[in-house]
Structure 1
Amino acid sequence: MILWFTIAQLVVAVGAGLFCVIAGLAGRRPSDWTVGALALVELLLVAQIVIAIIAPLAGNPPTGSLLEFWVYLVSAALLPLAAVAWALLERSRWSTVIMGIAALSIAVMVWRMQVIWTVQVA
């Protein structure tokens, strides 16, 4: 993984998460802005999948468990899709909060992926 890209993902995921949680608690239903925030998080996760495929070939292999890393990455990539699907099926303020919690969860998962890639020794 690339540190600056991980930090960018963290900033976007935390920003989207806080935005959605605050919007939901303020009574806002899912909108283009909240769904778009999760779409941006998903776009960065897809880019991370591409980076994770190319990085070992470029001489940047993970030091931790490759299986654990990929389980985190695939789970993180599916989380925004599930949260947005929920929000579009149940258009309430709480589904906006759920999208925010999903984005905050992704931030934690991205940091864990960085730790698996760089810190642990297999």
Structure 2
Amino acid sequence: MVDWFVWVQVVVAVIAGLAAVTVGFAGVRPNDYTLGATLLVEALLVVQLVMAIIAPAFGNVATGSALEFWIYLVSAILIPPAAILWGLIERNRWSSVILGVACLSVAVMVYRMSEIWFVQLA
């Protein structure tokens, strides 16, 4: 993992999450902005996946449990597509809230992945 990229992911996910929750509670159905922001969060997770695969080859290895890190990463990658699918199938205000909660969940998971990678000692 790369420290600055973790914070980019967390900030983008929090902004996308808060925006989607806000418009959801305002009664706005999922639109291009909320779905696109969630898709951006997913794209950043895919980049994180690639970085996590190649990082150990360059000496950047996890200090915590690699298994726990990978479970968090795979789970985080699955959340945004499920939320986007929900938002496309059920087009009501609560779907926007679900998109926001998904993005906020990813932000927490990415932060936890950084703790596993950088802070924990196996």
Structure 2 equivalent of residue 87 of structure 1: 87
Q: For 1:113 and 1:67, locate their aligned partners in 2 and report how far apart those are by CA, in whole Å.
A: 11
Query: By how many angstroms is 1:38 displaced?
Result: 0.3
| TM, length-normalised to structure 1 | 0.99
Query: By how many angstroms is 1:64 displaced?
Result: 0.5
Q: For 2:84 and 2:39, locate their aligned partners in 1 and report how far apart those are by CA, in whole Å.
A: 9
Matches within 5 A, 1:20-31: 20-31=20-31
Structure 2 equivalent of residue 69 of structure 1: 69
Unaligned stretches of 5+ residues in structure 1: none
Is 1:41 aligned to residue 37 of structure 2? no
**Aligned positions, number:** 122
Q: For 1:28 and 1:120, locate their aligned partners in 2 and report how far apart those are by CA, in whole Å.
A: 41
**Counterpart amino acid of residue 74 in structure 1:** V
Structure 1 equivalent of residue 4 of structure 2: 4
Structure 2 equivalent of residue 99 of structure 1: 99
Query: By how many angstroms is 1:73 displaced?
Result: 0.3
Q: For 2:77 and 2:120, locate their aligned partners in 1 and report how far apart those are by CA, in whole Å.
A: 22
Q: For 1:23 and 1:80, locate their aligned partners in 2 and report how far apart those are by CA, in whole Å.
A: 18
SS at match of 2:121: coil
* CA deviation map 1:79-110 (0-9, x unaligned): 00000111111100001000000000000000
Q: For 1:72 and 1:46, locate their aligned partners in 2 and report how far apart those are by CA, in whole Å.
A: 13
Runs of 4+ in 1 over 2 A off after TM superposition: none
Q: Percent identity?
A: 62
Q: For 1:16 and 1:87, locate their aligned partners in 2 and report how far apart those are by CA, in whole Å.
A: 14
| TM, length-normalised to structure 2 | 0.99
